[in-house]
Amino acid sequence: MTLIFLNRSCSFDGSRNAVRFSVYDGMFEVRFLIETNALRTVSQGARSEDECLRAFDIAGEAILDAATHAYGRGGKDRHTLTAQDIHR
């Protein structure tokens, strides 16, 4: 299975302290949250909403790799990525 970003849009979710994004497995949308702590490991300055969104853009390939790995463990349509997922 190959996951792809059809568009690289994401949004900050302050209530979950995470960034939301979607990827696609063929025709199916798979939704993810990546915790801000995971983004901080990619960019030490990722604290504010803008910094987290910028860190997401910078780490797109690593995030997609982690998302693919998480999705491969169980094909749910919603996943949460943590710092452990990014540094596996």
Q: What is the mean pLDDT of each run of 10 residues along the chain (88 residues)?
A: 81 94 90 91 72 89 92 84 87
| Alpha-carbon gap, residue 3 to 25, rounded angstroms | 5
pLDDT the model gives residue 68: 92
Q: What is the pLDDT of residue 75?
A: 67
Instruction: Give the per-residue pLDDT at 41.
Output: 66
Q: Residue 46 has what pLDDT?
A: 61
pLDDT at 44: 66
**Of the candidates 4, 21, 15, 6, the residue with the CA atom closest to the CA atom of residue 55:** 21
Structure confidence at residue 1 (pLDDT): 64
Burial class (CB in 10 A: 0-12, 13-18, 19+), 58: middle
Helix (H) and strand (E) counts in the chain:
4, 4
Q: What gap in Å lies between CA 57 and CA 69, rounded to an integer? A: 19
